[in-house]
Chains A and B, each alone.
Chain A
Amino acid sequence: MGVEQKLGNLGFVTHKLEDVVNWSRTRAMWPMLFGLACCAIEMMAAEASDYDMSRFGMELMRASPRQSDLMIVAGRVSRKMAPVLRRLYDQMPEPKWVIAMGDCASCGGVFNNYAVVQGVDEIVPVDVYVAGCPPRPEALIHGVLALHEKVQTETMKDWA
């Protein structure tokens, strides 16, 4: 604060580097199109006009993992799909985050059987879990905002 008083209107602003980097990361996070099942329809509804997700910076959904930061796993992951999921996660460049949307991605959901992976956190590390079957678009947006808060608390040690 003392620095700013001394410098007056010279146009300098001081701030922590971590805050600036985290702020810029949250304001333009591009999700990857990874809609698998029913939750994908609610994700598409969250992107459409009534519950607009582009207000939060997620204007585009990139199909290519090389150009996205956020993977929203929407829907049930079957045993055949699991290696594909891991491969796509590995292809995303750092920094990357994962939201497990819906009950099936969080814990297996209604389906406790041979064919469904019981929670996608057996395969990729998850940052935010959004509950619901399927979660309302507002719940998904709440999850995204919770992720933004989590990203704001990241420090330089995490980036290394």
Chain B
Amino acid sequence: MTLAELRGARRRREDGEAHAGGLHATTADYIRVAVALFIITSIEVAIYYIEGLRGVLVELFLALSGLKFLLVVLWYMHLRFDSRLFSFMFAFGLSMAIALFIAMLATMKAGLL
């Protein structure tokens, strides 16, 4: 579902659909993202209750929430269509935060579980 969205958005860009001052996501895009967020969250809540998936729970949740994160950042926050500089700044801050705190937790031998 998400891949189709991505492809859909790219096709629209190639069709040259532009907005004043730059390319924009459309209202339809926003609704699609909303639906995707709803579905992903439902999946997350569902698998929380599935005992059999306990072993891979961390990986699954990180992947799913990572997906939601990307959807919001790329479409709602418009990074997909905006200057690379914004993406760079944000990604930089985020990477720093992740790297530093993984290092800190590792130093304290704290498991992420």
The judgment on whether A and B are partners is no
Residue numbers of B with Cβ under 8 A of A are none
